[in-house]
Chains A and B, each alone.
Chain A
Amino acid sequence: MEKGLTRYIWSNTYKQQIWILLIVAASMVPYFLSFDLPKRIVNGPIQGEGFETAEATQRFFAIAFNLPFIGPIDLFSGFELNRVEMLMALSTVFLGLVVLNGLFKFYINTYKGRLGERMLRRIRFELVDRVLRFPPVQFKRVKSAEIATMIKDEVEPLGGFTGDAFVQPALLGGQALTALVFIVIQNFWLGMIAASIVCVQAVIIPRMRRRLLELGRERQLTARQLSGRVSEIVDGIHTIHGHDTTNLERADIASRLGIIFQIRYDLYQWKFMVKFINNFLAQVTPFLFYAIGGYLALQGRLDIGQLVAVIAAYKDLPGPLKELIDWDQARQDVQIKYAQVVEQFDVEGLVAPHVHSVVTDPVPRLSEALVITNLVLSDDSGARLLHRTSLDVQPDETVAILGQNGSGGEALAEALGRILWPEAGRITIGGKDLLDIPESVTGRRISFVASDTYFFSGSLRDNLLYGLKHAPLTQAQYQGEDQRKFKRKLLEALRSGNPALDLNSDWIDYGSAGASGPDDLLKVIRPVLDAVTISQDIFDLALRSQVDTDAHQTLTDRIVEVRQALRRRLSEEDLGHIVAPFEADAYNRQATVGENLLFGTMKKPMNPQILATHPYFRRIISETGLGAHLYEMGLEIAENAVELFRDLPPDHPFFQQLTFMSADDIPAYENLLQKLQGTTIDKASASERSAIIRLSFSYIEPRHRFGLLTQKLMDEIVEARRQFYANIPADLSAAIERHDAQRFTASTSLMDNVLFGRLSLQEVDTTERIRAITRSVFAELGLEDHVLSIGLDFEVGSQGRRLTNVQRQKLNLARALLKRSDYFIFNRPLSALDQRAQDLIVTHVMQDLHKDGQRPAIIWVLPNAHVSELFDRILVFDNGNLVESGRFEELATTNGMFKQLLS
C-alpha cells in the first residue's frame, strides 16, 4: 500500500479531483462577483453615485470588453434603468448570485461526499483483502478486535478527508485569498493588517495543534488496545471465571479507561485553548478595522462604502481561514491514522493475489503424488518441530501418522494444511509448490481438518456447506427494477475497486459434493453425518427447535399422520398412558392450570404478563367466576409453600422444586397471607390479586400434589376456555395459536407438535423412550431427512458456541468430508472425543471415503495405534524425526517404536 495518504488518494482519484477542482475554480467567479456587488449597491443607487439628477439612468448588464490591440468591443449595450430600478436590479442580481453560490456548494459537497465514500469503501475492502492474504504467522500476533477497530473506525475519517484532500485547500484558499485581495484592493493598509493577522494565525495555530495530534495518536492507540482487551475478555470469559480473575480484568480495564480519560481530557483542554486563541485573533482584526478604518473614513481617506465592503469581506475571511486551519489539522490527523493503519497491514510475505483468484470451473483431480522434500519446520520461537524429512504420498494411498504429542507428526500435517509454512524444503504436487498452487486447487482438492474448529454465526447448514462455497457458480437472475438496481450496485462496486461478486448467486458447488443440485444435497449430507455419528444430535436439535413452516411444508402437512403413528406405536408398546393428549373439551392433568385455560401457545411478543392485563381475558376470568376460585386456590398454594419453605435458607436445593416462586418471594407471600388469609377476591387489591392468581396458573396437580384441583374446578376451567375462544378479539386470536389436532403449531417445538400433549414424567426413562420411538416413527413415515433438515436450520451462535466441543469437532470433520477431495489431511481432528468414539469414526470414514470407487489419499494423525491397521502405510515420528515407516504387518513384527505404541 502507498505509504503517504495524499499520494494514495491522488493515485486513486486524480480524475475526479481534477474535475472537482475545475468546478471549484468556476464557482469562484460568482463568489467574487458577490463581494463586489454590495459596494456597487451602496455607492450606486443608495448613496446616489451616478444618479445625481432625478431622471438620471444607468446602463445595466452592458457587456463590453476592452481588449488589447483590438480596442473596445460592445456586445450588448444593456438596459437603461433609473435609480430605484437599478437598486432592484442589482439586488436581484445579488439574490441570483446567492442562489448560484449555493448551488455550486451543493454540487461540490455532494460530489466530494461520494468521492469520500468510495474511497472509504475502497480502503476498507483493500484492508480486508489484505487480512485474507496475511501469512499464517501474522494471525498469532494480531488481536482480531484491533483489526476490526482499524477497519471500521480508524479509517472512517479517511473517507471524509478524501473529498477535501485537494478541493478544500483550493476552495478555502481561493476564498480567503479572494477576500484578502478584495480588501487590499479597497484599502492597502487595511489589507495589510488583515494579511498579517492571517499570517500570525497560520503560524501559531498549527504549532499549538502539534500537541493535539500527538494526543490524537495516543487516543487512537489506547482505544484500539481497549477494544482488543474487551474482545479478549469476551473470548476468554470461562478462563477468567475459572481462575477468579474478574477483578484483575476490572482493574485492567479501569486503568486503561483512566489513561484514555487523561488523554481525552488533555485533548479537550488543548482543543478549546486553541479555539480560544484562534477566535481571539479572528476578532482582533475587525477591532482594527473599526478603529483604523473608521479613523481613515473620518479623515475622508476612505469612503464609507469601501469600509462597509471591507468589513463585509472580512466577515468571509476568518471562516475559510479557520476551516483551512482545520483542514490542515484533519490532514495531519488522518495522515497519522493512515500511516498507523498501513503499518499494521503492511505485512511481509502476503499471499500472492493469483493464489486467491476466482475459479468457477470444476477443478480437475490431483492425480500426482504429494512430494515432501527436505522439509524443515519450526515454531514461532524458532524451535525445530520437524527435522529434515523427505517422503511422498501417492494419490490413492492411506497413511497413518503416529507418535507422541509434539513428535513432529502434527507439524507435518499443519504444513500440508498450509497453516505452518516451511522453514526450509518444499512440499510439491506435480512439481508445483503447495504454497504457489492457487487455493482453488488446494482448498477444493485438498482438505485439512485439525482439532480446532471454527464456525461462523449462522445455521448449521450454512456452516456445513461452507466448504463448498468457493465461487458464484450460477448467476442470480434479476428482472426489471431489480436488474437496474443490481447493475447500479455492480458499477458502484467497480468504481470503488471492489470485486463484482454477487452474494445472491448460488455459491454451493453441488457437483464436488456428489450431488446434482439443491434437491438431492441432503442425500449426500446424510451419510457424512452418520459417519461422524452426529445424526442423533441433529435429530434431537430438530425436535427441540421451532420449525420454519414455509421451508418444511412437507413435514408440517403430514403432522397429523405423525401424531397418529406415534399414538399407535405408544399403545403398541403399552406406553399409551405416558402422554396426556390435548383435548378441546377436557382438562389435561399433566399441564399447568394456565396452559389448560389458554389451550394454545403464545406467539411472540405475546407473553403471560401481557395476556393477564388484556381486558377481554380479565373479563372472561371474572365473568365465569373462575377468578374467585383461582384466587382461593392461589391462597392455598401460597399457604402450603410458605409452610414448607419458611425455615429453609434461600440457597437450599429444595427450592428447585418450587417452580412457582423463588426463595426471595417467600417473605412477601408470608406477609400477603397474613393480610389476606380467609378473605375473598374482592378484598384484595389488583396487584395482590395477580400475585395470588399467578401461583395457581403454574399449578400441576400430579407434580405439586397439594390436592387442590377438584373435578368441578377442572370443568370450570374448560368452560372458561370455551368462552375465551367463543368471542376472541382479533388481536388475541392473532397472538395465540390454539391447540389443533389437525394442524401444525408454528410457535412451539417439533417435539411438542409430535406429542400434542404433555409427557407424564412419572415413569422411569420416559424421555429416552419417547425420543427413540419418535425417531423410528419419522423413519417409518420416510420423514427422517426432513427432520434432519430442520435440525440443520439450527443457529450455531457466535463461533458455534451453542454446540458442544464434541459436536463442533464432528461437524468440522463432516464439512471436510463433504468436499470429496483427493487428499484428506486429518490432524487429530476429534481430540475432544473419547477413544472408542474416535476409533469408531476413523473406521467409518476410512470405509466411506473408499466406498464409491474413488480412492482419495488420506493422511491421518492418529492419537494411538488401535486403528492404524486400516491404513496402507504407517509413519512413526519421534522427536521431530521420522523413525519408522512401513505396512502394519511389517512394523508390528519388528521391535521398534510402533510395537511399543501398539502395546
Chain B
Amino acid sequence: MLLKDEVEMLRRVPLFSRIAPAKLKLLAFASERMSCREGQNLFSQGDTGDAAYVILSGTADIVVSSESGEIKVAELEKNSIVGEIAILCDMSRTATVRATSQLELLKISKESFLDLMNDFPDMAVEIMRVLANRLNHTTSELTAARSREQRVNS
C-alpha cells in the first residue's frame, strides 16, 4: 500500500477527519506500517506503552485478564484507534489487544501522537470525545454489572 492510499484511509478515521491532507501524509510517513496475524497479540496487558495504533483493516478484541480468567471488554473495528491511553497517561497497557482477523495497522509513536495533539486542537477534542464515549460505555456497563450483582445478592 502506498502513502497516498494510506492518507485516504486515515481520512476516513473520525479522529483525523479534520486534519489537512498534507499533515496526514506526514503522519502516515512518520508512522510504521505493521501487520498482525489472527490470534496474535498486538500488545499485552502490563507492557510499557510507546505507541498508539490505527486499525486500517481487520478486527480485534480488547481483553482484560482478571482473577477469573480473561474477560473480553470490547471489539475493535476498522478505522478505530487503540492504545492511546497508555501514551496519554504514561502508564503500562491496561488491556491486551488480540487480532481476531488479519490486522493492518499504522503504528504512531508516542512523540508523533503528542505532537499532533499540540498542532491540532481539533484532534485533541476528538480524542476527548472518543475517550468520553468509552467512559460512558464503561459506566453503563458498570451500572449494569452492579445492578446484576445487587439482584444476585438480594
Contact = CB atoms under 8 A, between A and B. Distances in A.
A765 B98 CA distance: 13
B6 interface: yes
Nearest to A652: B115
Contacts of A704: 3, 29
A654 interface: yes
A382 interface: no
Nearest to B4: A707
Interface stretch (B32-40, B87-95, B124-132, B146-154): B32-40
A652 B3 CA distance: 20
Nearest to B2: A707
Given A706-B2, A707-B3, A707-B4, A654 B37 contact: no
B115 to A, nearest CB: 6
A690 to B, nearest CB: 24
A654 B27 CA distance: 8
Interface size bracket, A side: 20 to 34
24 contacts: A574-B37, A644-B22, A648-B26, A652-B115, A653-B30, A653-B115, A654-B115, A657-B29, A702-B33, A705-B1, A705-B3, A705-B29, A706-B3, A707-B3, A707-B4, A761-B32, A762-B32, A762-B33, A762-B34, A763-B34, A763-B35, A764-B34, A764-B40, A765-B40
A762 B107 CA distance: 10
A104 interface: no
Interface of B: 1-4, 6, 22, 25-26, 28-30, 32-37, 40-43, 109, 111-112, 115
A288 to B, nearest CB: 87
Contacts of A648: 26
A8 B6 CA distance: 84
B26 A654 contact: yes
B32 A764 contact: no
Interface in A616-661: 640, 643-645, 648, 652-654, 656-657
Interface string A742-768: 000000000000000000011111000
B112 A654 contact: yes
A593 B115 CA distance: 32
Given A644-B29, A705-B1, A705-B2, A653 B112 contact: yes
Contacts of A657: 29-30
B60 to A, nearest CB: 11
B30 A763 contact: no
Contacts of B40: 764-765
- Most interface-central of B2, B29, B43 (chain A CB within 10 A): B29
The 9 closest A-B pairs by CB, nearest first: A653-B111, A654-B30, A707-B2, A705-B3, A657-B30, A764-B36, A644-B26, A705-B2, A763-B35
B65 to A, nearest CB: 18
Contacts of B3: 640, 704-707
Contacts of A764: 34-36, 40-43
A648 B33 CA distance: 22
A656 B31 CA distance: 10
B36 to A, nearest CB: 5
A761 B115 CA distance: 24
Interface string A700-718: 0010111100000000000
Contact of B109 (A643, A653, A702): A653
Given A656-B30, A705-B1, A764-B40, 8 more contacts: A644-B22, A644-B25, A653-B109, A654-B112, A704-B29, A705-B33, A707-B2, A764-B43
A762 B35 contact: yes
Nearest to A701: B2
B116 to A, nearest CB: 10
A644 B30 CA distance: 10
B95 to A, nearest CB: 16
A707 B36 CA distance: 23
- Most interface-central of A643, A657, A705, A764 (chain B CB within 10 A): A764
A706 B7 CA distance: 12
Nearest to A764: B36
Nearest to A769: B40
Given A644-B26, A645-B26, A763 B36 contact: yes
A838 B33 CA distance: 39
Contact of A705 (B6, B34, B43): B6
Nearest to B107: A764
A761 B107 CA distance: 12
A656 B29 CA distance: 11
- Most interface-central of A574, A648, A702, A705 (chain B CB within 10 A): A705
A652 to B, nearest CB: 7
A644 B7 CA distance: 13
A644 B29 CA distance: 8
Contacts of B41: 764
A643 B22 CA distance: 8
Nearest to A653: B111
Contacts of B4: 707
A26 to B, nearest CB: 84
Nearest to B53: A764
A643 B29 CA distance: 12
A713 to B, nearest CB: 15
Interface in A761-786: 761-765
A446 B2 CA distance: 66
A687 B109 CA distance: 36
A702 B33 CA distance: 8
A763 B2 contact: no
A75 B118 CA distance: 114
